[in-house]
Structure 1
Amino acid sequence: MSEIIAMSVLGGLIVFVLCAFPGNDSVAAGMDMAPQFGMVVLEHIGWGFGVYVPILLSFYAIVIGGQLVADSTTAASTRRMFGFAAEAMAGALVPALVLIVAACVADPMQVGSLFVIVPVSAVVFFLAIQLGGFIVFERSLRLSAAERARDWAKEHLGALKPRSRKPIWFVVVAHAVVGGAGGLGITLLLDRPSGSLLMLFLLYGSVALGLGLASVNGLFTYRTTQDRLYTVTAWIICSTLYLVGLLLALEAFVRIGPAAGLGVLSSVVLSLISTFWPRHRASRFVLDWSLHGAATRYAARSITTRYVRNVRVIRELVQSPEPDQPISLQDRIMVVFRPVRGDTSAPHGDSCTCRRTFDRSHGHCDAHTFESEDINSGSAV
């Protein structure tokens, strides 16, 4: 899911740059071209969906086939690779959908197209999210994987202190507001812009918001994933967004003026400082409101939940009286449709599958054996 968000932010920021500065001196005039871009997208979205859906279904077939005939290592690698590709494809589709909505707002006659586009888009996102979420191995392999995940979580949680005490969404929104206000303040100090102050504030705030989300995603992925591919990809996307931010600052410097360029640059610099400021040298105020502190808090909650979930999985597998039998073909196929039916039980009554979610109401006893403050105290995490 984080890959979809990251790709959406990257694509959205690129579209914003293309709309804002297509040779116009006014940001507002440039943004007026978004509906025109949306009309062009409407002409091509049909064949785009015609390509997306068959590809995602073929990914499903490959992943299911890998679980049926390949060994566990190959099946897991295949699922990760195609799951990541599917989520990246879905995220790349978001900017096109935003432009279509802009076209429909400008021309109400096009609203009817949404009755086709929205359901098909929902299918694409459903397939992409579910694709990376199911994989079933034999009982001994699941037990070994759960033990490794538990030990990894226990080892890494201690490194995530100190951290923010504020909700991550609140920190990101505040970061965007401060970035917008700071950029606007610098612009007003250096020059008196002829355009709309609100549009400039939205421009600076959008840059800060996009970079903030990318930074949080990169930090969170770095702290929580055991897969090098996801870590490298998250930082590549984050670095690309910062490069886009610098190019946007240069474009604003040339097209609008030095004051606007420095305003955009201030949002980029603010995001960099908030992302990389050392947590151990930060005051409590900075720690609570920095992107680094907020992402660390988010990562700590995720790792703690992962630990509790894997402890429960290990307990249930150890206490299960059933022998270590290979999973049947029927059970492997049925696990694909289990998320659709909302059934989280595993084959043969075993309640442990890799898609099983953590029930917080049953997590308190395991949390006390690990680190109770991370589960039971919202302010601590």
Structure 2
Amino acid sequence: MDSNLNSRRPSEALVDILGISLFLGVILTVTMSALAGADLAALFALLSAAGGELYGQLGWVFGIFFTALIAFYVGVIGDQISDERGRLRFVLGAIAQTIASFMLVGLLVILFSFFSHPERWATLLFIVPAAGLVLFLATQLGAFVIPDTTVRLRLAAADRDRARATLPRLKPRSRRPWLAVWLVDSTLIGVIALIVGLPATTPPSVPLLFVSLVAGSALVNLWCGLARYLWILDVSRASRTLDVALGLSPIVIFAGLGIAFVFTSSLWAGLSILVMVTLCAGVTTMPLRWNQAVPPQWLVDWTVGGVVIRIAARSSVKRYVRAVRTVRELERAPERKIAFPAFAQSPDS
């Protein structure tokens, strides 16, 4: 690919394709489920029949895809489209990404028909290379799906300013490995919740209950930690609202389960689940400053929230570096070493 062309990495285009494919797949699944009357057996039969129909169209579909994408590729890479026609490159790249996304979803549906026609599995020897070629061309063309220079400059400057404003607030931070903190927190929460639920537990079921509580704690900690990470890095009110909803969803689900146990079957089992959820919410939201008081460092070190803050700080530093470099490149400034502000020197400090 010509380095003079205004482009991004093909891997970024691949992420776009997978995201569009996921969106299309969800829509297709919901639609087919409604047609099947929410019956799994009927849904599988419907997908198998639909896959059989699509399988019969593979020949001419791949032919059209190849012809279009190769024409796009030759036009863009072969300098048939001048740099002044960047908008056309953008459109061609977007079309290529859309084609690849529909292809991936279609191939997934086709696989369902293979279970009722086992002999079709051999056709993967041809389908996989053909799909791979379409995906390659689409990711190369999708590399041109970027805003114009003015928009990119404005976005990069905004990223730089956000990182500069956010980093000083990302303290205190954990100094421990995230995996160790996650496992220790989840295990300790599981032990405490198990102790609460022991009055309603028979000895043979203690190991199963313990494993269930630890697994539940690990899931909630990971989920809520991810939500907090996204909340720290996002800036728009809408995005942060979605992040909060994302973080609250497992807490609400498990809390509802615990309350249901309390009022229907077992008081102590329900209380153990509620204790688990409460502690998970605590370790993922720590460290918080109350009246400007800083929590003890040992507490910060061994909470999921402290790890999240450290990871978010590292991401902010990388975002700052990338934004500064992008701004300078777009402004065609002379190459020089980036002078980092003091807050960006060490995200682990």
What's the TM-score, normalizing by structure 2? 0.56
Among candidates 151, 156, 162, match of residue 146 of structure 1:
156
Structure 2 unaligned spans of 5+: 1-14, 23-38, 53-85, 106-120
2:242 to 216, 233, 249: 233
Contact persistence 2:220–2:250 (CA under 8 A):
yes
Deviations 1:42-73 (A, max 9, x none): 667758999xxxxxxxxxxxxxxxx958xx9x
1:157–1:303 contact (8 Å) kept in structure 2: yes
* Matches of 1:320 and 1:48, distance apart in 2: 56
The yes-or-no answer on 1:293 pairing with 2:306 is: yes
What amino acid sits opposite 2:257 in the alignment?
A: L
Q: How far apart are residue 237 of structure 1 and its match?
A: 2.1
Structure 1 residues not aligned, in runs of 5+: 8-36, 51-66, 91-112, 322-361
**What's the secondary structure of 2:224's corresponding residue?**
helix
d(CA) in 1 for partners of 2:261 and 2:327? 56
Encode CA deviations 1:84-103: one digit per residue, 9 max, x unaligned. Answer: xx9xxx9xxxxxxxxxxxxx
Match of 1:216 among 205, 225, 229: 225
Match of 2:65 in 1: none
Instruction: Indicate how the Cα distance of structure 1 residues 314 and 271 shifts in structure 2: closer, same or farther if over 3 A, else same.
Output: same
The aligned residue for residue 340 of structure 1 is: none
Q: Kindly, what percent of the aligned residue pairs are identical? A: 23
The partner residue of 1:315 within 328, 332, 349 is 328
Q: Find the residue that maps to 2:172 and give its secondary structure.
A: coil
Q: Which moved more, 1:155-164 or 1:169-178?
A: 169-178
Match of 2:168 among 142, 158, 161: 158
Contact 1:308 1:367 (8 Å CA) reproduced:
no
Decide which structure has the larger Cα Rg and report it: 2
- Aligned-pair distance for 1:294? 1.7
RMSD (CA atoms): 4.7
Question: Contact 2:227 / 2:247 at 8 angstroms: preserved in 1?
Answer: yes
Match of 2:78 in 1: none
**Once the two structures are superposed, what CA deviation does each residue of 1:175-197 show, in whole Å capped at 9, x if it has no partner?**
22122221112222x34425522
Alignment of 1:253-264 (within 5 A): 253=262, 257-264=266-273
The one-letter amino acid paired with 2:193 is G
CA distance in 1, matches of 2:295, 2:49: 51
> Structure 2 CA distance, aligned partners of 1:255 and 1:38?
30
Provide TM-score, normalisation by structure 1.
0.52
Distance 2:205 2:43 in 1: 28
| SS of 1:366 mapped into structure 2 | coil
Q: Is the 8 A contact 1:253 1:261 kept in 2?
A: yes
Deviation (angstroms), 1:169: 3.1
1:161 match: secondary structure: coil
Structure 2 Cα separation of the partners of residues 177 and 247 of structure 1: 22
Letter in 1 for 2:315: S
